[in-house]
A and B are shown apart, each in its own frame.
Chain A
Amino acid sequence: MKRVKTFVLGGVHPPENKISAGSPVEELPLPKTVSVPLAQNLGAPSKAIVKRGDEVKAGQLIGQGEAFISANVHSPVSGKVKKIDDVMDASGYKRPAVIIDVEGDTWMEDIDTSKTLKKDITLNTKEIIEKMKEKGVVGMGGATFPSHVKLMIPEGKTAEYLIINGVECEPYLTADHRVMLERSEELMVGIEILKRGLGVKKAIIGIENNKPDAIEKLQALAADYESIEVQSLKVKYPQGGEKQLIKALLNREVPSGKLPIEVGCVVNNVGTALAVYEAVQKNKPLTGRVVTVTGKNVSKPSNFFVRIGTPVQMLIDKAGGLPGDAAKVVNGGPMMGKALISTDIPVVKGTSGILIFDQKEARRMPEDTCIRCGKCISACPMGLEPFLLAQYGQKKMWEKAEKDLVMDCIECGSCHYTCPSGRPLLDAIRLAKNNVGQMIRNRRN
């Protein structure tokens, strides 16, 4: 019997709780106003190019990305710019955003809003990268790294494989799963475009085997394409981490501190591939995405297609409202998501899910003394010693933390998840990472 592929080192298997997996994507009506943050991507924020009172159309550029690692921002609706003001985002900080009073859904003339599938790819590599940059495509898995930058292969490196991340290893989240099921044909074209943009011959879609319907559907479609392979993977968190995914699919290890291109790979999320399709084939900028709204007490766990800038509260209302015992709202998955201070924040390009936990789920376990059981070490997918790094973090021993490779930590949370003493290991490790990172930057200057 052939063993189902997965990564080797560490990993955990939290209860999957994919409650909303069976809910087809529902398009949410337009809100009255949208707040479109100018900093939705990893890297430098974009600069507003509209001003108060301007009329904008859906798909119109409103924020210009100027730095190398930066992404354009477009209006998701048509309406009038109410103001440009600081608005709280998922981080809890107030950051500049363009606030638009929604008047309708009139798109720019050069954007194809039809649902017809366009399979022929007419652009060449350079044009594809340019188009992705113009249309503000960023990584949709959560990191929001500007996607066109990933296609610009550094001097001396070659890409061999395009890896499409359909793992969705975070419990609860089902947005990628629904995209793979409902937008499969567009997805395949998007992958074909990314292949051309990268100049690679082969693409592999990695999907965990708790989504057999998605695997089956994409496998059937892949037969029509040259060298797009669908690979089923054993369920194990954090398989969606790009280093773990490459290890699982190709048994290649991205060296410490390096990017996947070091081993000839570029990894993109399925949501990103769909956004690439829209941008390149339909000339449509990234102005909306699928968001899962779920939780054990949510009356209607759902997957919504929403425009960027829609208030999170509106999504929760559409999923049956905030349950009475709601105590924690998480932006993203339960392992890596961020707890929200307020639901009065806008959906951004990186919003993959909204999770609602009750009192009991929200509470952390009481913290106990470390018994050196070593379970955090067995769970760590990077082969680190989380209990030790956390001690260094608490005792401000930054040099030791650096020596024991704290910067390799991908913050997947497996250590804290598995600790029988309920120690908040990742909190202390994050602290150490921040300080060590600062130390390294100071050393360079």
Chain B
Amino acid sequence: MKQFVISGSPHVHQDLTVPKLMYGVVIAMIPAMIVSFYMFGLGAARVFLITILSCLFFEYVIQRYLIKGPLTINDGSALVTAVLLAFNVPSSIPWWMLVVGSLVAVGMGKMSFGGLGKNPFNPALVGRVFMLISFPVAMTTWPKPIVSRSYFSFAGLDDKVLDTITGPTPLAVLQEEGAGAVSTNMQLLLGQMGGSLGEISAIALLLGGLYMLFKKIITWHIPVAYFGSAFILAGILWLADPSQYADPLFHMVTGGMMLGVFYMATDYVSSPVSAKGQLIFGVGAGVLTILIRVFGAYPEGVSFAILIMNAFTPLINSQIKPARFGHKSVKA
């Protein structure tokens, strides 16, 4: 008699795997990578190369020799962490800092908890914050984009902020000099500013984010809640005193907002599982981001806001249940 395979239903499976999701995120980040190459040249390429090689290396070594589990280097998650980490640093940063940052991101941020799926915090953010606190000068020295003159005169925008070798980020300008000194939102949207690799390409990141929404890699809940709450809070402050506070659109296109909202807050592992929980997470992160930016010691608040909300994720998951079927009041 012929032997058949026996297993419980269902007998069909969606054509979807973890690596497919992870590489989908990587694909979404390619436009922003290209923009950073264009803006910062080889310096950007160097950063990506170092973080990718070190993240993959540490993932392999830790999985092989410390965890002694099946190799997970192909699942794409270390690659996502590497690219995100690279987006979070200036192009001029020394190579060894990147290696240390990668070790902290992958080793401390992810593998110390048992690997993908078990980490409470977004690994790339753990690495980034570690670097920010450990190497404050290197992490906040922003080279200006190098090739932008012709590009921006073509776009009909002035290039007054482009004439120095290094310069502060618009958020730093805002904190030190007030709302009157910052560039226009259009300049910022196109990346005409100082900043880390991913900060300067808001529009490319937005494109990638829309791609991920379209491909159903992420859902709309966190981005909408995050942008929405940050926009509203920044808007209230701006309406209260436009000379002191920047307009809400400025907050949307500067700093790590695009990067954080689409690529880091939406990290599966460290964000809530239910739609309702994701909305709460997004609102919390949005409010915290603006509060830190406006009232905190650091000019940028996205990383801290997301990490703080990461810490709330287990609580949100345990308290916020999805909309249940058949548990509403009976309608006869």
Contacts and interface: CB of A to CB of B under 8 A. Distances in A.
Which of A338, A383, A418, A424 gathers the greatest number of chain B CB atoms within 10 Å?
A383
A421 B242 CA distance: 49
Interface of A: 9, 12, 14-15, 171, 243, 247, 252-258, 262-264, 322, 326-330, 332, 334-342, 344, 355, 357, 361-365, 368-374, 377-378, 380-385, 387, 404-405, 408, 411, 413-414, 416-418, 420-422, 424, 426-427, 430
B268 A371 contact: yes
30 contacts: A243-B326, A253-B328, A253-B331, A255-B327, A256-B325, A262-B332, A328-B4, A328-B6, A334-B11, A335-B10, A335-B11, A338-B9, A339-B5, A341-B4, A341-B6, A344-B1, A355-B11, A361-B11, A365-B17, A368-B17, A378-B275, A382-B325, A384-B322, A385-B321, A405-B327, A418-B14, A420-B21, A421-B17, A426-B9, A427-B8
B266 to A, nearest CB: 10
Given A355-B11, A369-B115, A421-B18, A362 B327 contact: no
Contacts of A370: 117
B2 interface: yes
B61 to A, nearest CB: 19
A12 B274 contact: no
A336 B9 contact: yes
Contacts of B325: 9, 243, 247, 253, 256, 381-383, 408
B117 A372 contact: yes
B153 interface: no
A371 B273 contact: no
Interface in B1-27: 1-2, 4-14, 16-18, 20-21
Nearest to A417: B10
B137 to A, nearest CB: 36
B34 interface: no
Interface of B: 1-2, 4-14, 16-18, 20-21, 75, 115-118, 219, 268-269, 272-275, 278, 321-328, 330-332
A405 B274 CA distance: 16
Contacts of A374: 268, 272-275, 278
Contacts of B16: 418, 420
Contact of B331 (A252, A328, A362, A368): A252
Contacts of B269: 371-372
B197 to A, nearest CB: 26
Given A255-B327, A337-B9, A377-B275, 19 more contacts: A9-B323, A253-B328, A262-B332, A326-B4, A328-B5, A328-B6, A328-B11, A337-B11, A339-B7, A363-B5, A364-B7, A368-B75, A372-B117, A373-B268, A373-B273, A377-B274, A380-B322, A382-B326, A426-B10
B24 to A, nearest CB: 10
User: Top 4 nearest A-B pairs by Cβ distance?
Assistant: A413-B10, A374-B273, A373-B268, A383-B324
